[in-house]
Chain A
Amino acid sequence: MRHIISVLLENEAGALSRVAGLFSARGYNIETLTVAPTEDVSLSRLTIVTSGTDAVIEQITKQLNKLIDVIKVVDLSEAAHIERELMLLKVRATGKDREELKRLADIFRGHIIDVTESTYVIELTASGAKLDSFIKTIDAGLILETVRTGVSGIGRGERILKV
């Protein structure tokens, strides 16, 4: 099953590679991994999308907790949460496609943030699944570049991950 794991870790050199190394060393799967400092620059917040049986996910959280640089680990997908991912999509936009692409971007609540005579860059923020369906909707031959950040997630309401 797909899980979204949030991690607070010390914002130190090498901390990210400890997390990434753990996943490869123990054969855990990483779908996406995002990381950036928090409002407290000594801390980084990491979001990992992974999948596995309950036993594997339990081991992943335990092994993450075991890393000395890791302060807190939470499985966001255990309860109500929000996930978002940012995508930048460069598409070939000529002739009648220009109008069609604009319309599709509007339907998905995306923005066109760069326009040339022959291309658009569409910015879209949504859940990973929604980004997937946007890509599917567009004629594959028109896609020039796809850039995705990977999933960021946060718990709903009073569910707070803090030191």
Chain B
Amino acid sequence: MTMMTGAEIVIRCLQEEKVEYIFGYPGGAVLHLYDALFKQDQIKHVLVRHEQAAVHAADGLARSTNRVGVALVTSGPGATNAVTGIATAYMDSIPLVIISGQVPTEYIGQDAFQECDTVGITRPCVKHNFLVSDVRDLAVTLKKAFYIANSGRPGPVVVDIPKDITAAKCKFEYPETIQMRSYNPVVKGHLGQIKKAVHLLLEAKRPMLYTGGGVILSNGSEQLTRLARRLGFPITNTLMGLGSYPATDRQFLGMPGMHGTVEANLAMQHCDVLLAIGARFDDRVIGNPTNFTSIPRKIIHIDIDPSSISKRVKVDVPIVGNVPDVLEEMLKLLDASDAKPDAEVLADWWKQIEEWRAKQCMKYRMKKNIIMPQYVIEKLYEVTAGQAIVTSDVGQHQMWAAQYYKFEQPRRWLNSGGLGTMGVGLPYAMGAALANPTMQIACVTGEGSIQMCIQELSTAKQFRLPIKIINLNNRYLGMVRQWQEMFYGSRYAESYMDSLPDFVKLAEAYGHVGIRVERPEDVEAALHKAFVEHKDDLVFIDFITDQKANVFPMVAAGKGLADMILAEDL
């Protein structure tokens, strides 16, 4: 075996893990690593303009595929800039490996140039992290990092490597598998519990399926779709779970929660058996937990992370396991028993749901000379034939994209649901575009969010990423403005953005195509131009939209799910 430097070992490990792209930014502490990268051509490095975007882009790649995203940053500010990206991935359980440079071992603790306690700073927002103290531990540490990131409930793992470790030499040996006595995620669910769950489901009078991001992360949407169809039950997908069940299907009730549909929220509230799958009863989903639990219903909860179960809401039948494995077991039991839900009872429940659905809570009024933001998303859905990968930032545009773009497949909708990080949209689109070169990529954003990572227009130019930026420009931080209008007596404190850049010129300055659209009748043509005529270009479409449009329905923070404010109420 030949001797290799630590830097060469890191690159070899990444090659062994079949990493195709890494997103990063060089600096003093990672120069050995960049030198080793330079000497090979298997892994392509994407040079971002800010480390936050490196992590988001790796995250976008991971969300849109089933692979671990990898980012490489330098010590000190490189690592601290990455923290927002890491925390974003952690909240949504996205598998990432972040390699950070560290000052040489002998300098640690000396307040050296560009030194920070990366392991300490990232500890609360990673699944796990490592500080490598010996070059002989490097390969096995990276193996562990990839294994931990992508197994069990996935999450980001930081590997902090002091500069001297990347220069030191040792023999390279990459373990094929890894065993850790302290980490053995459960895969199979408890059969007795699964039987109990199936029994409850078959006996249910008003059943409801409520599924979250865990279904997508575990690649369980095929099993979920089979189970839902087999049972004929209504189903809702959370913001993080959109696409795990086809949105155009009759059984799909739309998204639940703060901006969920009437039918999804009322069915969640009034069901007698709730099957929660890879979802975590988030405050934005169930509203006030006291109100939610005041209504008697049986809850079955499937999740790979035991700490997600009975965290906010007490559960009757907990099932710890990997979603597709547990659902396969359920389907097997259903097949074997030949039992079916009572069709008559179920028909009554559906009748009730159809009454709720008939309210058409998502209807909005078009205005003559002003573009309604919802309309832009509807047209985006049409022009892309519902087949695009859609990323979003955070705010009103995010909710409209989630409400009006009907996702048919998993891994097509990328957004920061947990941390709610503005600025993710463009870097997510970069990661998705690189990993899915044949797909249409749309980044739905607003004039507030897009400016939080606008510098990445430069990266997108360098790597020729044909992203279509759908900027819903209402000259307000829209969601803040909406809350101020509704709960703060319309005192719009700092939610109006003056002195916005000319986004068309800005796009052009970065070498892209810019289009401004101000009239409703031009929306479709502009989208067409972007997706067809400029198929291979990055196109920034600045839609000047209605300033007063609000997201409805809305459950105010702390209220119960049935307590919805509808557009028609105002």
A86 within 8 A of B: no
Assembly CA distance A18 to B130 (angstroms): 12
23 A-B contacts (beta carbon < 8 Å): A9-B182, A13-B131, A13-B133, A14-B120, A14-B123, A14-B131, A17-B120, A17-B123, A18-B123, A59-B311, A62-B306, A62-B307, A63-B307, A65-B306, A65-B307, A66-B306, A66-B307, A68-B128, A68-B148, A68-B180, A68-B182, A69-B128, A71-B182
Given contacts A18-B123, A71-B182, 20 further A-B contacts (CB under 8 A): A9-B182, A13-B131, A14-B119, A14-B123, A14-B131, A17-B120, A17-B123, A21-B124, A25-B124, A59-B307, A59-B311, A62-B306, A63-B307, A66-B305, A66-B307, A68-B128, A68-B180, A68-B183, A69-B128, A163-B181
Near A by CB (< 8 A), chain B positions 312-337 give: 314
A48: Cβ under 8 A from any B Cβ: no
Contacts of A31 in B (CB 8 A): none
> How many residues on the B side are at the interface (Cβ–Cβ under 8 A)?
19
Question: Chain B residue with minimal CB distance to A22?
Answer: B124
Residues of chain B with a CB closer than 8 A to A14's CB: 119-120, 123, 131
A58 within 8 A of B: yes
Query: Is A101's CB within 8 Å of the partner chain B?
Result: no
Distance (whole angstroms) from the CB of A20 to the closest CB of chain B: 10
- Near B by CB (< 8 A), chain A positions 48-71 give 55, 58-59, 62-63, 65-66, 68-71
Question: A111 to nearest B CB, angstroms?
Answer: 39
Flag if B123 contacts A21 (CB, 8 Å). Answer: yes
Q: Does B127 contact A (CB under 8 A)?
A: yes
Centre residue among A55, A68, A163 by max chain B CB count within 10 A: A68
Which residues of B have CB within 8 Å of A68?
127-128, 148, 180, 182-183
Choose among A55, A66, A71 the residue that contacts B310 (Cβ–Cβ < 8 A).
A55
Measured between alpha carbons, how far is A58 from B306 in the docked complex, in Å? 10
- Residues in A with CB closer than 8 Å to B305 are 66
By size class, the interface of chain A is: 20 to 34
Specify which chain A residues have a CB less than 8 angstroms from the CB of B119 in the assembled complex.
14
Q: How far is the CA of A21 from the CA of B119 in the complex (A)?
A: 12
Query: In the complex, which residue of chain A has the Cβ closest to the Cβ of B182?
Result: A71
Contacts of A75 in B (CB 8 A): none
**In the complex, the 6 A-B pairs of residues with the closest C-beta atoms, listed nearest first:** A62-B307, A68-B128, A71-B182, A62-B306, A25-B124, A68-B183
Chain B nearest CB, measured from A1 CB (Å): 18
> Which residue of chain B lies nearest to A69 when distances are taken between CB atoms in the complex?
B182
Does chain B have a CB within 8 A of A85? no
CB of A41, distance to nearest CB on chain B (Å): 15
In the complex, whether A10 has a CB less than 8 A from a CB of chain B is yes
Q: Which of B120, B128, B131, B306 has the most CB of A within 10 A?
A: B306
**Shortest CB–CB separation between residue A25 and chain B, in angstroms?**
5
Chain B: which residue is nearest A42 at the CB level? B181
Residues 281-312 of B at the A interface (beta carbon under 8 Å): 305-307, 310-311
| Shortest distance between the CB of B280 and any CB in chain A (Å) | 13
CB pair A10 B182 closer than 8 Å: yes
- CB pair B123–A55 under 8 Å, yes or no, is no
Measured CA separation A23–B123 after assembly (Å): 13
Q: Cα distance A62–B148 when bound, in Å?
A: 18
**Cβ of A56 to closest chain B Cβ, rounded Å:** 10
Q: A14-B119, A17-B123 are in contact. Are A58 and B131 (CB under 8 A)?
A: no
* Closest beta carbon of chain B to A60's beta carbon, Å: 10
CA–CA, A65 and B123, complex, Å: 16
A-contact bits for B110-131, CB 8 A (1 contact / 0 none): 0000000001100110011001
User: From B120, which residue of chain A is reached at the shortest CB distance?
Assistant: A17
In the complex, chain A residues whose CB is within 8 Å of the CB of B307: 59, 62-63, 65-66
- Give complex CA distance A65, B152 in Å: 13
Bound together, the chains give a CA A17 to CA B119 distance in angstroms of 11
* Interchain nearest-CB distance for A5 vs B (Å): 15
Assembly CA distance A9 to B182 (angstroms): 8
Cβ distance B41 to chain A, nearest Cβ, rounded Å: 34
- With a cutoff of 8 Å between Cβ atoms, the chain A residues found around residue B120 in the complex are 14, 17
Whether B124 pairs with A55 at a CB distance below 8 angstroms is no
Distance in angstroms from B310 CB to nearest chain A CB is: 7
Q: Are A58 and B310 closer than 8 Å at their CB atoms?
A: yes
